Structure 1
Amino acid sequence: MSSSVAHASHARPPAATEKASTPRPRETEYRPRHPLDLRRTVLFQRHGRNDPTMVVAGPVIWRASRTPEGVATLALRESSSGTIRAAAWGAGAEWALAQVPALCGAEDDPADFDPTSHPVVARAHHRNPGLRLGRTDLVFEALASAVFEQKITGMQAFSAWRCIISWHGERAPGPTPAPMFAPPSIEGWRRIPSWSWHRAGLEPPQSQTVVRAARRGESIERAIAGAEDGEAVDRILISQAGIGPWTSAETRIRALGDPDAVSVGDFHLAHEVGYALTGTRTDDDGMLRLLSAWPGHRQRVIRLLAAAGVREPRRGPRLHPEDHRDR
């Protein structure tokens, strides 16, 4: 394992002073044995700046989640020595603390990754040694959030996510810097009424897909837990109505930290990858041909290119969101 975890029973939490009525958190320290860019690694899980499940307050990253043991709030702060101090509140606190190394990319193994075949990738890798691919191990949360982002603008998806989580999630425990909420349980996703989806601005194909998936949510999670590799996970997810390769890849990336998943069908991704690697845009097939130089690490290359900040100049009009709530 590429990290070490030490428990500290009397350390102060990595956040603002607790109110007297707030229970003391459970705490731990994680000492990564590799360079770690905490923000770039962990904030990849955030769904927009106003995501009620993830808040940044000064040097502290707060995350609310529904773990297999219950709702938990996790606070992460990096010390000057590179140690990650973690505090957690709620029924799922122990699970959340145990999962900190994976969230920070401890299970990500880039040992056989060779960036030298392209100068842009090599420079990005050199300049971002702490970029790791973390995982939440919360499959249905990742699946639901990916469905929200199908075929609509990020602004629409993030707004709908914020509304549904705030209205139907569970208030996060602990001294959070702002009201935070954990996603609903699988049963909770099933019970969200149609008018609530409509009010949030999520289109019927997406909301219906989430509800259908929630009806089989437990069996989907069990099947994925037993899957041998990313291709097996793909087969499980794509067999569900309304879930295609893009949604499957997004789920694999966030929940499982899959270093090879590629979100084929993304509106911008192929253009950005093509421009970064060749100076001209390409389509999905062209992107896959370009990324074939890094088998097993295609998602890693995509993340490195994003970190490098290479962007195709915007020429056309922006895609404006549609509002279906008054129809």
Structure 2
Amino acid sequence: MMTSMSLEMVASTAQQLGSEPVRLRWSPRGSVHLGQTLSVLGRGTNDPTVRVLSPECVWITTRYLGSAVSARFTRGSGGTDTTALERDIVVDAWGPGAAAWISQAPRWCGAADDWTDFESSPAYGLLPERLTLARRRHPGLRLPATGAVIDRAVIAIIEQRVTAIEAIRAYRYLVRLAGEPAPGPAPVGMYAPPTAEQWRKIPSWQWHRAGVDPHRSATVMRVVQRASALERLGLLEDPVVVRAKLQTLNGIGVWTAAEITQCTHADPDGISVRDYHLADYVCWFFDGAPGSDERMEELLEPWRGNRQRVVRLIKASGHRKPAFGPRLTPADHRRH
């Protein structure tokens, strides 16, 4: 779903070099909550590639055709309290890739995610009242479609079989090691993610220092060797097809593929099966008890095609599962 937009670009020499911002003003169809939609791309409050400064001001960095981009998403002025989530979104982008990337910006904040068919379907009427209430309270919640398959693949691989703390620490270390400072006036500490070639050049001892075991680092190396193929996947529309193609790569399974397409293709149905926490989280919501992946899939079956949207609504509802049971103890691979 793409809506009308106006591009405000000045084709000056300075702008082409990335020293001045390229601007896009997008008039969304319906509500968009910038903070809710873009925050899922970040890992922790000091992620070097995503900073949510407020619900209406979010910075991201990315690569487009190999070139670095920094972008600031903000809301245009005007409107009323009741139309605040429908105001224009203004995107200012800096860097050598900014002019080429800027037309993709609306997809990052949900232009490709249309809830209309789901909300008018019989399946929507089967949602628990708590979830329909969550949707009414969060009408601007959307799924992003960044198309940045390589970036999301690396993040998801680093997160395989480890705690969030370990993965966040490793990702920050490696991005700051191999990436480059974000172009433009981005917040301090932001970096453009490494290119495929920069990922390939990270020596094994640096992966070890980051706390990434050889299995995961080898998987990253295999994936970035296929950078051209992954970039083509970013251009495909159907997340089901993309998930299937990703799983043909050694080291990418159902969990990793879903974690990727949730962010790159606004995947409305991809759920993170085999996640350490998700099955219990969903089962506690519906059953009031822990459960398995099989039970989670059974519970979500009435909403097949929109299961990821249902998971997002569960999170938006404020649901928390009881805080007891064993924790996954971080393993410090740097000491082995």
Give the aligned partner of residue 61 of structure 1. Answer: 58
State the SS of the aligned residue for 2:72.
strand
RMSD: 1.9
Counterparts in 2 of 1:90 and 1:194: CA distance versus 1, 3 Å: same
Bigger mean CA deviation after superposition, 129-138 or 59-68: 59-68
TM-score by length of 2: 0.88
Summarize the alignment of residues 129-208 of structure 1 with structure 2, pairs less than 5 Å apart.
129-208=139-218
Give yes or no for contact 1:27–1:88 (8 Å, CA) kept in 2: yes
Structure 2 unaligned blocks of 5 or more: 11-17, 80-86
Deviations 1:235-290 (CA, angstroms, capped at 9, x unpaired): 32112111111001111111111111011000111111111123222211111111
Provide the rounded CA distance (Å) in 2 between the counterparts of 1:218 and 1:71. Answer: 17
Summarize the alignment of residues 1-327 of structure 1 with structure 2, pairs less than 5 Å apart.
1-8=1-8, 23-58=19-54, 59-68=56-65, 70-80=67-77, 81=79, 82-114=87-119, 115-117=124-126, 118-222=128-232, 224-225=233-234, 229-327=238-336
Give yes or no for contact 2:38–2:109 (8 Å, CA) kept in 1: yes
Provide the rounded CA distance (Å) in 1 between the counterparts of 2:216 and 2:142. Answer: 30
Deviations 1:164-219 (CA, angstroms, capped at 9, x unpaired): 00000122110112132111111221221101111111122111100111112212
Give yes or no for contact 1:102–1:135 (8 Å, CA) kept in 2: yes
Give yes or no for contact 1:26–1:88 (8 Å, CA) kept in 2: yes
Counterparts in 2 of 1:178 and 1:296: CA distance versus 1, 3 Å: same
Provide the rounded CA distance (Å) in 1 between the counterparts of 2:90 and 2:138. Answer: 22
Provide the rounded CA distance (Å) in 1 between the counterparts of 2:239 and 2:112. Answer: 15
Give yes or no for contact 1:120–1:276 (8 Å, CA) kept in 2: no
Provide the rounded CA distance (Å) in 1 between the counterparts of 2:302 and 2:48. Answer: 38
**1:79 to partner: Cα distance:** 3.3
Give yes or no for contact 1:74–1:88 (8 Å, CA) kept in 2: yes
State the SS of the aligned residue for 1:146.
helix
Structure 1 unaligned blocks of 5 or more: 11-21
Provide the rounded CA distance (Å) in 2 between the counterparts of 1:53 and 1:189. Answer: 15
Provide the rounded CA distance (Å) in 2 between the counterparts of 1:106 and 1:125. Answer: 18
Give the aligned partner of residue 13 of structure 1. Answer: none
Bigger mean CA deviation after superposition, 22-31 or 91-100: 22-31
Give yes or no for contact 1:69–1:95 (8 Å, CA) kept in 2: no
Provide the rounded CA distance (Å) in 1 between the counterparts of 2:238 and 2:92. Answer: 32
TM-score by length of 1: 0.91
Provide the rounded CA distance (Å) in 1 between the counterparts of 2:176 and 2:276. Answer: 28
